[in-house]
Amino acid sequence: MTPSKQGSKLRSKLDLKTVLETSRVLIEAQDEAFVFENLLRISMGKLLVSKAAILLHDADSNSYNISYSKGLPDLQEHPATLQLTNSLLSKSHILISEHEQELKELTPYFPSGAMFNLRTSDHHLGFLVLKEKMSQSPFIAEELEFVESLCIISSSAVANSRMFDQLSQANRQLDQRIHELNTLFDLSKEFNLLADRDKISRIFKFALMGQLFIRSFFLVYRSDNRAELLASSNLSANIPTDTLNRLLKETEEITNVDEELAEEFPVLKESDICSLITISVHGRKVALIGVGNRANSEPFTESDYNFLKSLSNLAINSIQRTYLIEERIEKERMEEELSLAKSIQNKLLPDVIPDIPGADLSAVTVSCYQVGGDYYDIVETPDGNHILAIADVTGKGFAASLLMANLQSMLHILLPFDITLPVATERINDLLYQNTPIDKFITFFWGKYHHQTNRFHYVNAGHNPPLLLRNNSSEFCELSEGGLLLGAMESTIPYESADLQLSSGDIIVFYTDGVNEARSQKTDEEFGEERLQEIIHANRDKTSQKIQDAIIRNVKEFTGASQYDDLTLIVFKAD
C-alpha cells in the first residue's frame, strides 16, 4: 500500500472516530447553542477554515438570520433574505461560487466556500456556512461528506433539544395550570362557606396579589342597576359612582388601558390600572375588575387572563349568592310581617257575624294582597241596635290597611256617644283629612238597623251605593244619600242621611268596587253593576249566604280567577 493511500485510510478512520464521538456528545446535549458551537468548532478545525456561521430559518418571514458565527468578530445579528429554490433546499451542500447570484446576500461575508443543509426528515433548520479553506484549495469529497455527517447529527440533536424545550415548557405550563386549578378549587370551597361580601372580597384581593403578583386592583359589582365598589387596593383616589357606571357600561370583555382610555378616566392611569375585565351572567354585565401591572413586571398572558376570569367568576357567583340570601331573608321577614299584619287586620273585622233579630246577614272580604284597604263591620250599639259599615281605602297593601285600621278605631270610639250618623261622619272626615296625605281618601257607607221597627238609617260618604231590592219589586234602588268621601277635604257641607222602612224579603247588598270593577282576562271588560243586579235577582229567594256565594263565584268565573282589587260584600235580607 502506498503512503498516500495509507494516509487517506488513516484520515477516514480519524474522521469516523470524530463523527462517532461528536454524535455521542451532541445526542446527549440538550442545549441548541452548545450543539451549534461544537458544529462550528469541529468543522472549522477539520477543514481548516477561518470563518463559519449558522444561518437559522425563520418560517414566519421566510428569511435567514446569522445566529452563530466564528471568525466574524464584528458581525451583529444580520437577516439575510435569501430566495432559495426547492432544488437548492434539497441539496445536502451548496458551493457558493456556483450560485453567487442567488447567494449575493452572503458574499460580503463569504465570497466563496460552501453551505451545508441543516435538516431532519421533518424540518429544515437552516445552513452551516463555511468560508473557503485557508489554503484556498477546494473542498474534496471526503471533507464534504464529513461535514454533511456532522450536520445530520447536529440537526437531529437540535431537533431533540427543541423538542425537549417544548416538553419542558409544556410541563411547566401544565404544573402552573394544575396549581391554578387547585387554587380555584380551594377558593371555591372557601367562597361557598362564606355569606359575607367583605370576606369574599378580601379573599379575592389576596388571591390576586398572591397568585398574579398584582399590586393595584378594584372590583366593581352591579347591584340594582347601580355600580358598587366592593374591593380595591392601592387606588390613588375613590372612584365616583358615575365613573364606575360608565366604566362598566363601556368596557368590553378584556380591555387594555391605552392612552385614550386613560385620558378619559385619569384614575386608571394614576392607579397604574393596565387591564379591565368584565364578568357577564346570562349576557348581562354584572361586574368589572381592574388590575394593575404585576410586581415582577411580566405582561399578562392569555392564561393569566383565563385564571383571572375564572377567579373573578367564583367571587362574583359567591357575591351574588349573598345578595340572594339577603333577599330571601328580607322576603321571609316581609312575609312574616305581612302574615302578622293580616292576622291583626282580620281581628279588626267581626270574628263572627252577629245574630240580628229580624235579619238574615252574611259578610266577607277577600284581599288581593295579604293585607288590603277594604273594610266592613257589624257592631252592636249601646241601645241594642246594630251598625253595618263598609269602606274602601284608596290603594292597596300596608298603607291602605293602616287607614282602614284608623277608620275602624274611629268608628268604635264614636259608638258610645249619643250623636247622629251625619255628625259622626263629619267628625271622622275631619280627623282623616287632618291626619292623612292629600292623595289618600276613603269611600264609606254605614247605617243603623233598628230591629224592633225594621228601620234602616244610613249615610253614604262617596261609596258605591248599596243596592236595595224590595220583596214586591223587580227594580233596584241605590242608597246614595250622604256626602263627600272621607279625607278628601274638610267638612263644609253637612252630610245628609236617609231612612228606609224594610219589609220581610227586602234585600240590601253592600259592595266595594272589587265587585263591579272586576275585569275579564279575556275581554278586559268590567263585571259591572248590571251583572251584579242579575245575580241578586236570580237568587233573591235564597239565603244571604247563598246570595253572597253566588256573587263571589260569578265574579271569579268572569275574571278567570285573577283578582286585581280587594273585594268586600255584606248581604242583608230582612226576615
Mean pLDDT in residue range 128-147 = 89
Q: Identify the pLDDT of residue 15.
A: 57
Whether 157 and 217 map to the same domain: the answer is no
Encoded amino acid at 317, one letter: N
Q: Where residue 237 sits, what CATH number does that domain have?
A: 3.30.450.40
Q: Identify the pLDDT of residue 477.
A: 96
Whether 468 and 564 map to the same domain: the answer is yes
Whether 376 and 468 map to the same domain: the answer is yes
pLDDT tens per residue across span 149-161 = 888 888 888 888 8
Whether 139 and 81 map to the same domain: the answer is yes
Q: Identify the pLDDT of residue 29.
A: 64
Structural domain includes residue 340 = no
pLDDT tens per residue across span 442-498 = 999 999 999 999 999 999 999 999 999 999 899 999 999 999 999 989 998 999 999
pLDDT band at 109 (very low <50, low <70, confident <90, very high): confident
pLDDT at 501 over 70: yes
Whether 160 and 213 map to the same domain: the answer is no
Highest mean pLDDT (candidates 2-6, 278-282, 376-380, 412-416): 376-380
Whether 434 and 547 map to the same domain: the answer is yes
Q: Identify the pLDDT of residue 2.
A: 46
Mean pLDDT in residue range 331-335 = 76
pLDDT at 20 over 70: no
pLDDT at 536 over 50: yes
Structural domain includes residue 184 = no
Structural domain includes residue 129 = yes
Of 41-55, 63-77, 296-310, the range with the lowest mean pLDDT is 63-77
90: containing domain: 3-165
Interatomic CA distance for residues 126 and 117, integer angstroms: 6
Final residue in a domain of this structure, among 289, 324, 359? 324
pLDDT at 406 over 50: yes
C-alpha cell at 575: 226576615
Instruction: Give the E-state strand segments of 497-566 in sequence order.
Output: 498-501, 507-511
- The pair phi, psi for residue 466, each rounded to 5°, is -55, 150
Whether 357 and 443 map to the same domain: the answer is yes
- pTM of this structure: 0.53
In contact, 257 and 278? CB cutoff 8 Å: no
Report the SS3 class of residue 447. strand
Of 19-33, 39-53, 194-208, 217-231, the range with the lowest mean pLDDT is 19-33
Structural domain includes residue 172 = no
When divided into structural domains, the chain yields a total of 3
Q: Identify the pLDDT of residue 10.
A: 39
Mean pLDDT in residue range 134-143 = 88
Q: Identify the pLDDT of residue 379.
A: 93
Final residue in a domain of this structure, among 148, 165, 182? 165
Of 144-158, 181-195, 444-458, 521-535, the range with the lowest mean pLDDT is 181-195
Sign of CA dihedral 105, 106, 109, 111: negative
Q: Identify the pLDDT of residue 370.
A: 54
pLDDT at 80 over 90: no
Q: Where residue 523 sits, what CATH number does that domain have?
A: 3.60.40.10
- Vertex 246, ends 244 and 252: CA angle to 5°? 100
Whether 528 and 454 map to the same domain: the answer is yes
Mean pLDDT in residue range 41-48 = 88
Structural domain includes residue 61 = yes
pLDDT at 210 over 80: no
Interatomic CA distance for residues 24 and 153, integer angstroms: 9
